[in-house]
Amino acid sequence: MSRLGDLIRTERVRQKMTPKQVARKCGVSESYIMAVEAGTRIIADDQARRILKTIGLREQNEADFTLDDIAATVDLASVQPQLAKAVARPKPKEAEKVASTEEKDEGVAGSVWLDALTSVLKRVPVMNAVMKPVDYQLLPIQSGRIEGANPDKVFYFLAPDDSMRGFRIHSGDRALIVPAQSPVDGAVMLVEYNAHRYLRKVKKLDGFQVLLQSYDREYDAQTAQLSEVNFIGRAVRLEINL
């Protein structure tokens, strides 16, 4: 299946509709809907949106996910067991009535497939040098973690300048930061020193000092007392601009 085909099938199942019923509402043939779901017919995102909207999915959602984000990032096959479990879960009649009303009010935020996706995706902030979010990026959650860390604690740091380009980090690149409050020898870390936040390569000197290394046009290093440096986190991944 294609990712958008998966989305359409999942929302159709949530609405307890058959391909024939969806086809009738959308004004297309049943074979067309089945081909889209199977991924044998490629359609544009806007066509997929129209089909989903016809089924009952609305554009707005409180989690700020878009179809484009999900379709581009997630292999929905990985969440199919969760979806199947959610669809098959028995509910008392009264609970079904309440859930139906809530889903109608919430649109996509109440969808089974979005509920499942929120457990495998995290909207990670991109922070600037003053630690203000300037963007967001979806990252997959594996076994409840991102790069071994609490998903709520990771973030991207937007490199503000070329002071680390000798270490292949340029202005505008995004470094994924996981929490680390003590120096990691040989790692690129986000540190706060002299009232500024930097990406620096760290070298431990002794129990009380570290070397904060940078490399713009030439190599530079500052020797700092451990007590003067606030270690915010360790860079574990770098995404560059082309």
| Model confidence, pTM | 0.59
Q: Which class is domain 122-239?
A: mainly beta
User: Domain-by-domain residue ranges, the chain?
Assistant: 3-117, 122-239
- The tens digit of pLDDT for each residue in 168-177 reads 999 999 999 9
Q: Are 179 and 148 spatial neighbours (Cβ–Cβ below 8 Å)?
A: no
Phi, psi of 102, deg, nearest 5: -65, -40
Which pLDDT belongs to residue 218?
A: 94
d(CA 165, CA 124): 24
Which pLDDT belongs to residue 109?
A: 41
Which pLDDT belongs to residue 233?
A: 97
Q: What letter does residue 239 receive in the DSSP assignment?
A: E
Question: What are the distances in angstroms from CA 161 to CA 56, 119, 154, 169, 194?
Answer: 47, 35, 21, 9, 17
Question: Nearest-CA neighbor of 125 among 98, 154, 96?
Answer: 154
Say yes or no: domain 3-117 is CATH 1.10.260. Answer: yes
